């Protein structure tokens, strides 16, 4: 007998819609499968066989959500990109330890399960997993009427990666004179949206206003610029690690420069960065001007155009930059490590 419940449907939960959503998302999940995945869709748990070849493998886990950037997804009725953000926020953290992301699980909570919308969300998650070389081995969609409005949802997930114990990147090898390299962001990524919503009054703006092209943004609309998905740095960084010693990595998320760059630097040392060397993206200039936000707050909230920072020795800086440029990343020298009681010297 086919699973169904008319009583549950009258209470607001349509389990048949859940089955339909699973059927729609199967094609996207299939793109992420690797030989290490031992389970199919629909089991009680996702099975993943650890890769061979590591002497002392260490698992590294990271979890995150998309945050209030989802409000923009609701406004624009665009659901196929925020899943990339969800994956990116997790795998970009995991790679900071030097770990290769193995698999990902997502969690979607919604007021009403619209199968086509859920499938679009999972399409984005799957795309993020493909970009990270990670398998989407499971997830959960929870229909919660009365808790979420019918047209709204939340999206979160977690990543598990693996690294050889002797190759963990933890900043302990950072020395005075080492160099800081910037990897450009695609835009705002997935942080600071509570402030952005206030600056642009996104809770009251119309869809038409959000989609109006702006010259300052190169003809892109505000909505399109803000909804650009978080860049995933996993594959180029894994490739770089094979040829260059990375002493420290920082994913620039909430808290901006001031909170995240110091996390990869030992006590007694600091990163000296000149503001004129930061390649600030136009969207941040617009946010700063429109919101009359102090420069210090901008650097303590947003990535300002720098999605990741790397620490390498002075001798390997040129090689690292050349390799990254060859991978299509417009990496550039951002600063240097100096002896300091303050871990960030932004001058």
For residue range 206-225, what is the model confidence (pLDDT) as tens digits? 999 999 999 989 999 999 99
Distance set, CA 12 to CA 18, 47, 120, 152 (Å): 13, 32, 22, 15
Do residues 95 and 19 both lie within one domain? yes
Looking at the predicted structure, is the pLDDT value of residue 42 above 80? Answer: no
Three-state DSSP class for residue 68: helix
Looking at the predicted structure, is the pLDDT value of residue 264 above 70? Answer: yes
Helix axis angle for 317-326 and 234-241, nearest 10°, is 140
The DSSP symbol for 265 reads S
Distance set, CA 155 to CA 17, 48, 255, 274, 284 (Å): 18, 23, 21, 37, 25
The DSSP symbol for 11 reads T
What is the total count of domains within the chain? 2
End position of a domain, from candidates 167, 199, 224: 167
Spell 265-285 as b/e; 16+ CB within 10 A means b.
Answer: bbeebbbbbeeeebebbbbbe
Three-state DSSP class for residue 160: strand
For residue range 136-162, what is the model confidence (pLDDT) as tens digits? 999 999 999 999 999 999 999 999 999
CATH code of the domain containing 109: 3.30.1330.10
Domain encompassing residue 240: 179-346
Residue 125 forms part of a structural domain? yes
Do residues 63 and 124 both lie within one domain? yes
Selection from 306, 337, 336, 310 nearest residue 323 by Cα: 310
Q: Which pLDDT belongs to residue 8?
A: 55
The model's confidence at residue 13, banded by pLDDT at 50, 70 and 90, is: low
For residue range 56-65, what is the model confidence (pLDDT) as tens digits? 999 999 999 9
> CB–CB of 311/247 below 8 Å?
yes
Instruction: Note the pTM of the prediction, 2 decimals.
Output: 0.95
End position of a domain, from candidates 167, 201, 225: 167
Residue 142 CA to residue 160 CA, distance in Å, equals: 22
Q: Which pLDDT belongs to residue 20?
A: 79
End position of a domain, from candidates 167, 202, 229: 167
Residues 1-26 have a mean pLDDT of 71
For residue range 296-320, what is the model confidence (pLDDT) as tens digits? 999 999 999 999 999 999 999 999 9
Residue 15 CA to residue 324 CA, distance in Å, equals: 47
Q: Which pLDDT belongs to residue 7?
A: 56
Do residues 128 and 187 both lie within one domain? no
Residue 6 sits at φ, ψ, to 5 deg, of -65, -35
Three-state DSSP class for residue 196: helix
CATH code of the domain containing 311: 3.90.650.10
């Amino acid at each position: 007998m086919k699973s169904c419940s008319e009583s549950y449907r009258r209470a607001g939960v349509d389990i048949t819609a859940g089955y339909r959503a699973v059927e729609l998302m199967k094609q996207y999940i299939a793109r992420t499968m690797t030989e290490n995945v031992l389970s199919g869709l629909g089991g009680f748990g996702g099975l993943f066989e650890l890769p061979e070849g590591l002497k002392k493998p260490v698992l590294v886990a990271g979890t995150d959500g998309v945050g209030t950037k989802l409000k923009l997804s609701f406004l624009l009725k665009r659901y196929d990109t925020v899943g990339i953000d969800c994956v990116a926020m997790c795998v970009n953290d995991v790679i900071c330890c030097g770990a290769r992301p193995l698999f990902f699980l997502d969690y979607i909570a919604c007021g009403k399960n619209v199968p086509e919308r859920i499938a679009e969300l999972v399409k984005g998650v799957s795309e993020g997993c493909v970009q990270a070389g990670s398998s989407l081995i499971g997830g959960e969609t929870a229909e919660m009427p009365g808790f979420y409005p019918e047209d709204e949802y939340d999206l979160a997930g977690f990543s598990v990666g693996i690294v050889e114990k002797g190759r963990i990147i933890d900043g302990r090898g950072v020395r005075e004179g080492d160099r800081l390299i910037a990897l450009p962001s695609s835009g705002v990524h997935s942080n600071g949206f509570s402030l952005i919503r206030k600056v642009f009054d996104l809770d009251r703006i119309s869809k038409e206003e959000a989609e109006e092209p702006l010259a300052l943004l190169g003809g892109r609309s505000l909505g399109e610029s803000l909804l650009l998905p978080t860049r995933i740095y996993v594959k180029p960084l894994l490739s770089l690690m094979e040829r260059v010693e990375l002493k420290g990595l920082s994913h620039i998320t909430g808290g901006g420069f001031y909170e995240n760059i110091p996390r990869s630097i030992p006590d007694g040392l600091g990163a000296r960065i000149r503001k004129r060397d930061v390649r600030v993206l136009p969207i941040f200039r617009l946010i700063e001007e429109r919101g009359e936000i102090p420069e210090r707050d901008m650097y303590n909230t947003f990535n300002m155009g720098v999605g990741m920072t790397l620490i390498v020795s002075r001798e390997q800086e040129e090689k690292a930059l050349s390799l990254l440029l060859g991978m299509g990343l417009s990496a550039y020298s951002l600063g240097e490590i100096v002896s300091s009681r303050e871990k960030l010297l932004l001058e």
